[in-house]
Copies of this chain bind each other. A is one copy, B any other.
Amino acid sequence: MNMPNATSAAAPGTVEFWFDFASNYSYPSIMRIEAEAARRGANVVWRPILLGAIFRSFGWNTSPFVLQPIKGAYVWKDMVRQCRKYGLEWTPPSRFPRSALLPLRVACFGAEQPWIGAFCKRIATLNFVDDQDIEDTDRVAQVLTNLGLSAAPIIAQALGDANKLALRRQTEAARTLGIFGAPSFVVDGEIYWGDDRLDDALDRCAELCR
């Protein structure tokens, strides 16, 4: 009965995790999702997207937290509290939102590889703990090398036309599904928006597998 589409392709017990390294609320989700999913026997499908392209489709040229300063001021205080609650390190980024095209392309290329979770956590940490430029090729290569991988061929393929197109198509698929922000989680065709809904999405995963 299921029609094949971006969502129904996911098996029961699977959460699709739509994220952008530039997105501050994606950071706690990137850091938490593997352990929280494992605790419930759920699988994570990593779906990097270009959140800026989605924002531009709404006529916004940057993050709403920049466009609406009163909300932005709140968000940086909220991040301190949220990270403290989860036991995560946190440094306010000196640049926000940070360009993340290269690591997003690597994540798109490696989404089904066993190193995807560790790679994403390291890039997110570089942005939101170490306050480093994550668009720097040497730095991204170093992350891959530190994971015991051959960085050069991975980056070459990440920068290939097929993979560039795959990331753009995945971003279009997000818009088609009705995703308007990151992080978003999709379980059984239902969108859960925001790090605040990670647990609800995974609980729903676990419920579907019972």
Once the chains bind, are A178 and B73 in contact (CB under 8 Å)?
yes
Cα A196 to Cα B81 in complex, Å, equals 13
In this assembly, does A156 line the interface, its C-beta being within 8 Å of a C-beta of chain B? no
Once the chains bind, are A180 and B85 in contact (CB under 8 Å)?
no
**Please, which residues of chain B bring their CB within 8 A of the CB of A71?**
180-181
Interface size class of A (residues with CB under 8 A): 20 to 34
Once the chains bind, are A78 and B193 in contact (CB under 8 Å)?
yes
Task: Give the oligomeric copy count.
Answer: 2
Q: Which of A73-126 contact B (CB under 8 A)?
A: 73-74, 77-78, 81, 85
**Please, which residues of chain B bring their CB within 8 A of the CB of A74?**
178, 180, 191, 193
Closest 3 CB pairs of A and B: A196-B196, A70-B180, A71-B180
Cα A68 to Cα B59 in complex, Å, equals 11
Cα A78 to Cα B58 in complex, Å, equals 21
* Known interface pairs A85-B200, A196-B196, A200-B85; A191-B70 also in contact (CB < 8 Å): no
